[in-house]
Amino acid sequence: MKNNFATQFKEYRKRLDISQEEIAERLNVTSQAVSKWECEKSYPDMEMMVEIAGLFGISLDCLVLGENSGAIEGVPDDDTLRVVFCRGRRVIDANEVEGSIRVRLEGKPERVEVWGSANIYGDIIGDVSVGGGLNCDKVEGNITAGASVNCDEVSGNIDAGAGVNCDGVGGNVSAGTNIVCDDIGGDVSCGLTLQCDNISGSVSCGMTLTCDTIIGTVQDCHGDIHVKTLNGTVQSCEKTVYIKDEN
């Protein structure tokens, strides 16, 4: 603990660009005492620790234990960029969050997690996980969202609790409501209507399906099926299959 205090004390003093003499004057101690703190030769009492934390504008835990003392329990210490919401000092769950947060990325992070909804500006080379809805640019990994997804191209899969509106998707798409996309490279599961260009996999749709080409099977659709080219079969569908005129 003493080593952490000495390191934190020196780091925050330098961040504020304050000399040892200035710190000593503000705390009403000698400059020799400040020097001993930084050299780990002595340790201030608790009352003085509180004054030091207040001077630096940080918590006492942070001053004594280090900047990682506020780490969220159970969250891995990796390179994931995590954006969390707090009410006071308490981290709140995604279903408690109202509204969304704007995140402007610098560089291309390998993974982003948001505890709530987010508008993310910038490309992501890895996966994105949000507790609510997501508006974003290009994603080279997978997307998991508790609500709707609006984005550019996605190289991986999309799993959304509500609708999906995007450009091309390289993998599978699963949405709780409507899907409006260009080409989809994998299978599609849609709670309501589906509108797209080409689908390389199979399709399950809760209501009307409108596509140009479907390579795989269409099954469990409860609305009309409008398709130009259907390479697979239709199974367990309630409504009519309309083959669109190519002219």
Q: What is the 3-class SS of 55-101, one letter each residue?
A: HHCCCHHHHHHCHHHHCCCCCCCCCCEEECEEECCEEECHHHCCCEE
pLDDT exceeds 60 at position 71 = no
pLDDT of 1 reads: 45
The two three-digit tokens of residue 51, written as one number = 């004054």
Q: Cα(200)–Cα(172) distance, rounded to whole angstroms?
A: 10
Whole-angstrom CA distances from 91 to 66, 131, 150 are: 20, 13, 26
User: pLDDT (tens digit, 9 = 90+) per residue, 146-186?
Assistant: 999 999 999 999 999 999 999 999 999 999 999 999 999 99
Cβ contact 6:37 at 8 Å: yes
Read off φ and ψ for residue 41, nearest 5 degrees.
-95, -15
Contact 170, 158 (CB under 8 A): no
Question: Cα 40–43–48 angle (5° rounding)?
Answer: 140
Fold topology of 2-70? 434 Repressor (Amino-terminal Domain) (1.10.260)
**pTM recorded for the entire structure:** 0.66
Helices (H) and strands (E) in the chain, counts: 5, 23
| Domain boundaries of the chain, sorted by first residue | 2-70, 81-243
pLDDT tens per residue, range 195-220: 999 999 999 999 999 999 999 999 98
